[in-house]
Amino acid sequence: MAESTAPRRGRWLLLAVLALVLYGIVRAAGTPSTPEAPARPSAGPSASRTAPRTSGPPPAPASAGYDPADYAAQVRARARQAGVSARLVMAILYNESYKPHDPSFERAWQKYKPDAAFGIADMHRATFDEVKRGRPFAGRRWEELPDDRDLAIEAEAWYLRDLADRLPAHWAGPYTKDELLALGYNTGAGNMLAFARGATPGSQARSYLDRLRGNWAEAGRAVGAH
């Protein structure tokens, strides 16, 4: 019996091998010849660094921060020229320092948000173009503000002067002159006059005023105010 069964097992083994080879040939013939799609990058820190940005604001540079106190000399000089409080000019710079003021970042942000403000004093184009009329910097352009911080301070000081010229001699609201000017800087001359008449600022204006009050002492130290 052993001699008769051995050849049969050999034949069955050969048939099994042939069947597997035939199955492989059939599968290969039925597979599309399109290239395999590249694997999607896995989630995680490395993926977030290498994946291209398709929308949204650009990332802020790591070295975009600055200290407004470094510009105390310019603040004092420009405030004196415009006839406004150097402490107020500096306090507003502190208020506006919440965002990065790196020139390349500001320009990239402006492409994402065309109505964004420029410079360390965060001034919009229309405001700058209005303020510069008849002023020593009348020939300068709004696009220069990110690169020229002294120009940004000069424009801020003269805008505060324009706002001060619009304030009435007396007002009913509970705010000081500097507080009203800061509110005007943040919300516009029309709102400033409404607040002077006793209107209640909205949440954004109140937040701006709260930050101004919080920055007031530091601004005073920076410019040497007593």
Tens digit of pLDDT for each residue in 89-108?
A: 999 999 999 877 777 777 77
- Is the pLDDT at 179 greater than 50, yes or no? yes
Q: Both tokens of residue 10?
A: 């050999």
Q: What is the pLDDT of residue 107?
A: 77
pLDDT value at residue 213: 97
Q: What is the Cα–Cα distance from 203 to 50, expressed in whole angstroms?
A: 39
20-39 confidence digits (pLDDT tens): 544 444 344 443 333 333 33
Phi, psi (rounded to 5 degrees) for 188 = 105, 160
Measured distance CA(120)–CA(147) in Å, rounded? 10
Could you give the C-alpha distances from 85 to 19, 152, 199, 214, in angstroms and in order? Answer: 94, 16, 24, 17
Q: Which position has the token pair 């109140």?
A: 206
Reported as a single tens digit per residue, the pLDDT across 37-66 is 333 333 333 333 333 333 444 444 444 568
Considering the chain, what is the average pLDDT of its residues? 79
